[in-house]
């Protein structure tokens, strides 16, 4: 499980995808959310504005599992 450190209180799912270098631009967020099954804390998620806090686990089918941590 890869850990992604953030300095703010939270990060949105769309920001996370770009911050973790999973997409090259923010414009691809919608496409990724449609093409891949994404779970946040074991609950299916498709909202790019979903807030992710330290301790949250993100699982993306075919890509990997990530944990948000505070830096």
User: Domain extents for the chain?
Assistant: 2-70
- Please state, in angstroms and rounded to a whole number, the distance separating the CA atoms of residues 26 and 43: 23
CA distance linking residue 8 with residue 64, whole number of Å: 23
Q: Does the pLDDT of residue 51 top 90, yes or no?
A: yes
Give the pairing of strands 64-70 and 2-6: parallel
* Distance between CA atoms of residues 65 and 36, nearest Å: 13
- DSSP element (H, E) containing 17: helix 13-19
The pTM of this model reads 0.88
Topology given in CATH for the domain delimited by 2-70: 3.10.290
14-30 pLDDT per residue, tens: 999 998 888 888 788 88
Q: Give CA–CA dist 46/65, Å, rounded.
A: 16
């Amino acid at each position: 499980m890869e850990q992604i450190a953030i300095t703010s209180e939270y990060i949105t799912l769309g920001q996370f995808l770009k911050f973790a270098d999973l997409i090259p631009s923010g414009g691809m967020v919608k496409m990724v959310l449609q093409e891949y099954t994404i779970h946040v804390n074991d609950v299916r998620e498709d909202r790019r504005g979903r807030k992710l806090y330290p301790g949250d686990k993100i699982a993306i089918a075919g890509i990997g599992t990530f944990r948000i941590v505070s830096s």
